[in-house]
Structure 1
Amino acid sequence: MAHSKVVQGHQARKRFGQNFLSDDFYVSKIIESIAPQTDQHIVEIGPGLGAITQHLIQRAGMLDVIELDRDLIPRLENTFSHYANFKIHQSDALKFDFTQLQTDPEQPLRIVGNLPYNISTPLIFHLLKQRHVIQDMYFMLQKEVVERICASPGSKQYGRLSVMTQYYCQASMLFSVPPGAFSPPPKVESAIVCLQPYTNLPKAVSDADILAKIVTAAFNQRRKTIRNSLKQWLQPEDFEKVGLSGTERAERLSLDDFIHICRYVEQSG
């Protein structure tokens, strides 16, 4: 098969976007960043061959792992099922209900994962909907995606993912991980991002769905001015009322600007 590589006896599958972390230096660095504690409930998405799992299991109070690839389940069970604090779920993380894992309302989940690049954005949005049970998230993603999440207005990386993630979370890029740290090596550089959902949103809107629609419309046509891309919501004379020029483009608007637009739209019905 041209599209796969045998790693530790497992056929790495292209359709699952499998690139297994195999460099101990980066495994240790990730574990240090997460700093799991014995009173914490950790959820690992896509444990793969267990490079990170083996460190989490020894330090976490509870560890749930979510793995889509059925061929990996028996291996993970053989290696980890003798730990009393370990539970495995054969499931697609994009459809998984993370709220069911929370056993103690006082103890939010900490989510960890080396995410397949093809699902990283939808998965982050899926988790943000369940953020009330999540303390923080540490993800290995394509570096370009991490740069988009953490981007500031005015940069070409800045877009819908930046605005909506930063509305819900404090986001920080921790460090890069080179292709050679994986087996098989991906074609791109990776990076670790930390997302900490706000317990109370610093600047909340009444209807986050409206905010999401406004942000999506603005960035769907990045080349257009906001007067054109947001005409479904704002008349030309409304821009002055929200303190913006209709000739701006979406990437110049800050999260605060989008919040002002959303509140104005909510108030004017």
Structure 2
Amino acid sequence: MSDTHQHHRARKRFGQNFLHDAGVIHRILRAIHPREGERLLEIGPGQGALTEGLLSSGAQLDVIELDRDLIPILNGKFAAEPRFHLHQGDALKFDFQRLEPAPHSLRVVGNLPYNISTPLIFHLLENAALIRDMHFMLQKEVVKRLAAGPGGGDWGRLSIMVQYHCRVEHLFDVGPGAFNPPPKVDSAIVRLVPHEVLPHPAKDHQLLERIVREAFNQRRKTLRNTLKALMPASAIEAAGVDGSLRPEQLDLAAFVRLADQLADHPTPADSN
């Protein structure tokens, strides 16, 4: 067991579950379909299960890995390949501009640990103009929220803020047995494709975030109740929204209308 190259033990603090199922790896690579000359960015390559297939496509590959113990393993496997660039560090703090990608060119791939998946997706969305698409392995529950439509319990802040920026596709599910150690939950592969033209652009993105956060803070209550600190019932009606609805009954366009109403007519209560 002394050979660290073969036996890196997954560490709980990094939320590591290494992918080892060849069939699943092949299916993910088929879904991504990397091609020669493309710019790929892999987040958290682990022991390189996907890295090999991504590189063999002929693409340029940057990888970001936080766990220092994995760096020699990854370098040992891939450093001889001139198209491979390894960055040791935290993807949440990584400046994607450093890669100098052309607009809408970066293809992002990652088997994301649960604890960073949501903040990392938001960090990537801040750089959406650089990104062509993203393929992530996430907890199935998170993918269901990302891909949800209005009307159900999965529809919430994550669904709305991601769908504001991206088209979302829940591609397929992956059972715990595909990983070592097996996680306690099912996983799924999701594809996020940033819109080149936003379908429902808000006048003020921060106001949209604020309204969505307030609305879903108490998702069982009506909008009239949850938004009363931000806007009066008359302003909700003026946006063409029924204030007696609960937030999960509204689609993205309705939330954008609320935010735009507030942007055009800031209420006295909001002047602080």
When normalised by structure 1's length, the TM-score is 0.95
Instruction: Classify 1:156/1:7 alpha carbon distance in 2 versus 1 (closer, same or farther; 3 Å).
Output: farther
Higher deviation after alignment, 91-100 or 134-143 = 91-100
Partner of 1:187: 184
Cα distance in 1 for partners of 2:250, 2:103 equals 37
**C-alpha separation in 1, matches of 2:130 and 2:233:** 41
Number of the residue aligned with 1:3 = none
Alignment partner, residue 148 of structure 1: 145
TM-superposed deviation, 1:122:
0.6
Q: Separation in 2 of the partners of 1:211 and 1:154?
A: 19
The alpha carbon displacement at 1:106 in A equals: 5.5
Structure 2 counterpart of 1:89, one-letter code: H
CA shift for structure 1 position 107: 6.4
User: In 2, Cα distance between the equivalents of 1:202 and 1:7?
Assistant: 48
What secondary structure, in the 3-state scheme, does the structure 2 residue paired with 1:137 have? Answer: strand
Please say if 1:218 is aligned against 2:215: yes
1:69 matched residue in structure 2: 67
State the alpha-carbon separation in 2 of the partners of residues 7 and 192 from structure 1: 28
Structure 1 residues without counterparts, runs of 5 or longer: 1-5
- Is residue 236 of structure 1 aligned with residue 257 of structure 2? no
Q: Are the structure 2 counterparts of residues 72 and 124 from structure 1 closer, same or farther at C-alpha, using a change threshold of 3 Å?
A: same
Structure 2: distance between partners of 1:252 and 1:162: 13
Kept in 2, the 8 Å contact 1:102–1:108? The answer is no
Supply the AA of the counterpart residue of 1:71.
D
Q: Distance in 1 between matches of 2:89 and 2:58?
A: 22
Specify the SS of the correspondent of 1:11: coil
Task: Go from structure 1 to structure 2 and tell me whether the alpha carbon gap of 1:131 and 1:240 turns closer, same or farther (over 3 Å shift).
Answer: same
Distance (Å, rounded) in 1 between the aligned partners of 2:11 and 2:5: 10
| Paired amino acid for 2:225 | N
Aligned mate of 1:133, from 130, 134, 156:
130
Residue in 1 that maps onto 2:269: none
1:42 paired residue number: 40
Give the aligned partner of residue 111 of structure 2.
114
Q: How does 1:73-88 map to 2 (within 5 A)?
A: 73-88=71-86
CA RMSD in angstroms, aligned pairs only: 1.4
Distance change (3 Å), C-alpha of 1:217 and 1:108: same
**Whole-angstrom CA distance in 2 between matches of 1:119 and 1:245:** 35
Q: Who is 1:206 aligned against?
A: 203
Q: Distance in 2 between matches of 1:232 and 1:255?
A: 21
Q: Is the 8 A contact 2:5 2:73 kept in 1?
A: no
Deviations for 1:203-262, whole angstroms, at most 9, x for unmatched residues?
Answer: 211211110111011111112211111112221222221222211111111101101101
2:189 is paired with a residue whose SS is strand
AA at the equivalent of 2:34 = P
Partner of residue 260, structure 1: 257
User: Stretches of 4+ moved more than 6 A in 1?
Assistant: none
Aligned-pair identity (%) = 52
Q: What SS does the corresponding residue of 1:29 show, helix, strand or coil? A: helix
One-letter code of the match for 1:96? F
1:178/1:189 contact within 8 Å kept = yes
In the alignment, which residue of structure 2 is the partner of 1:30? 28
Q: For residues 75 and 256 of structure 1, do their structure 2 counterparts lie closer, same or farther at Cα, with a shift above 3 Å needed?
A: same
Would you say the 8 A contact 2:143–2:189 is kept in 1? yes
Name the counterpart of 1:98: 96
Task: Give the CA deviation at 1:76.
Answer: 0.2
Q: CA deviation at 1:102?
A: 2.4
Q: Does 1:250 align with 2:236?
A: no
Give the letter for the 2:96 counterpart: F
Aligned residues: 263
